[in-house]
Amino acid sequence: MDGQLRVGVLISGRGSNLQALLDACADPDFPARIVCVLSNNADAFGLQRAADAGVPTTVVSHKDYPNRKTFDAAVNDALGKFDVEFLCLAGFMRILDGQFVARWRDRMINIHPSLLPSFPGLDTHQRALDMGVKVAGCTVHFVRADADTGPIIAQAAVPLLPDDDAETLAARILVEEHDIYPRALRLCAEGRVSMKGDRAIIDA
């Protein structure tokens, strides 16, 4: 498909959301294609997923850089070699500095395993259980300098069941993550997401 959005995916671990994106982009009619997968962790299983799909991979280890700014600059340089136009964070366990986020403003999205703005940060599933909420879920949003903030593109909800623990809840939410992340990327690639102040407006 001509004019496909050139996407880079940043990962740190197993890459299950990366796999969902790879599967979606395998359809030649999908409006985006993944041109590289970058990890800060050379042992990330997601790198193997990318290689199996024929997608180039690169590793930029944060341990090789003295601070966040120089690491982020190296990541940006690596992405430039693949002419990346748009970024998806898929379990990328590094906080990106403000300059990097500003450079990719409205061209970088993240998936978070809660219904933001509730439960930003870590341990989202256990915190939801501890609070006794009746629904939990996941959110795809544009990235801003403050972690787990930014205009919301898509969300999916699941009910909390009486016998849920953090593991069972996480598993049900992960199914929804694998559904909404490719759908959100499609919306962005098709130019159906516009900004109105701090809100993302979806053109249905």
The answer to whether 62 and 42 have CB atoms below 8 angstroms apart is no
Q: Which of 62, 112, 141, 178 is catalytic?
A: 112
Residues linked to residue 37 through DSSP beta bridges, in sequence order: 9, 57
Residue-by-residue DSSP string for 25-86: HTSTTSSEEEEEEEES-TT-HHHHHHHHTT--EEE--GGGSSSHHHHHHHHHHHHHTTT--E
112 part of the active site: yes
What is the helix, strand, coil percentage profile of the chain, to 5?
35, 25, 40
- H or E element at residue 111: strand 108-112
3-state secondary structure of 203: coil
Cβ neighbours for 149, distance < 8 A, ≥ 6 positions apart: 116, 117, 120, 141
Catalytic residues: 112
